[in-house]
């Protein structure tokens, strides 16, 4: 079975830039880390869509993401989709995708990290691994999977103090 991973950037994929003295979205990382996982019956296809901090995502970036999803659903029947994304606007994109795909036919899972993949204390590989498993277990819908939790995309928010996602009422 195949799972599609769409990458959009965010902290999970940030790297340290010596020139800028800060972490930036500059290189693709997800494929490299997925190769570390043992997934004997899974074929994971990684498709980069964008690579930016989610606070800089535009309406056009989200429309492009939706176009990619529609294309995948058309060519890969029943393939679940995992999207790596910045945490600051993950719920915004989740709600957008819920409106774009009210009956998606497959699970569409958004995930990310509070610390970049490869950095000490990173939660990136944990969230990626949990998302891949959730993608094969969940009913069709749009979800956020983070720190061992699963939320419908419109029933969660980022809690900055706690450094994670928590349950929330839909707007
Ligand atoms: N500002 C980052 C983003 O939303 C935060 C993160 O990914 O955790 O892309």
pLDDT at 106 over 90: yes
- Looking at residue 171, its pLDDT comes to 76
Q: What angle do CA 13, 166, 126 make, to 5 degrees?
A: 40
Q: Could you tell me if residue 10 is inside a domain? A: yes
**Residue 1 maps to a domain:** no
Give pLDDT, residue 135. 97
Among 13, 52, 54, 122, residue to substitute to test ligand 1 (most atoms within 8 Å of Cβ):
54
Q: Would you place residue 170 in the very low, low, confident or very high pLDDT band (cuts 50, 70, 90)?
A: confident
Total domain count for the chain?
1
Mean pLDDT of the chain: 97
Domain assignment present for 87: yes
Ligand 1 centroid to Cα of residue 53, in Å, is 6
What mean pLDDT comes out for the span 27-38? 96
Q: What is the mean pLDDT of residues 39-63?
A: 97
* Cβ-proximal residues to 5 (8 Å cutoff; 6+ apart), any chain: 30, 34, 44, 45, 46, 47, 81, 82, 83, 84
- Bridge partners (DSSP) of residue 146 are 149
- Domain of 97: which CATH number? 3.40.50.1170
């Amino acid at each position: 079975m195949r799972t599609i991973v769409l990458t959009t950037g965010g902290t999970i994929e940030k790297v340290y830039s010596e020139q800028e003295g800060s972490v930036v979205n500059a290189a693709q990382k997800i494929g490299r880390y997925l190769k570390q996982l043992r997934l004997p019956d899974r074929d994971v296809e990684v498709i980069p869509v964008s690579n930016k901090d989610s606070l800089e995502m535009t309406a056009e970036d989200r429309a492009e993401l939706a176009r990619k999803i529609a294309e995948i659903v058309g060519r890969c029947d029943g393939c679940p989709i995992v999207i790596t994304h910045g945490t600051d606007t993950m719920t915004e994109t989740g709600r957008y995708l819920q409106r774009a795909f009210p009956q998606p036919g497959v699970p569409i899972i958004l995930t990310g990290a509070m610390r970049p993949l490869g950095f000490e204390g990173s939660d990136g590989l944990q969230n990626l691994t949990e998302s891949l498993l959730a993608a094969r277990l969940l009913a069709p819908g749009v979800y956020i999977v983070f720190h061992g939790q699963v939320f419908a995309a419109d029933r969660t928010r980022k809690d900055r103090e706690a450094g994670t996602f928590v349950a929330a009422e839909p707007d």
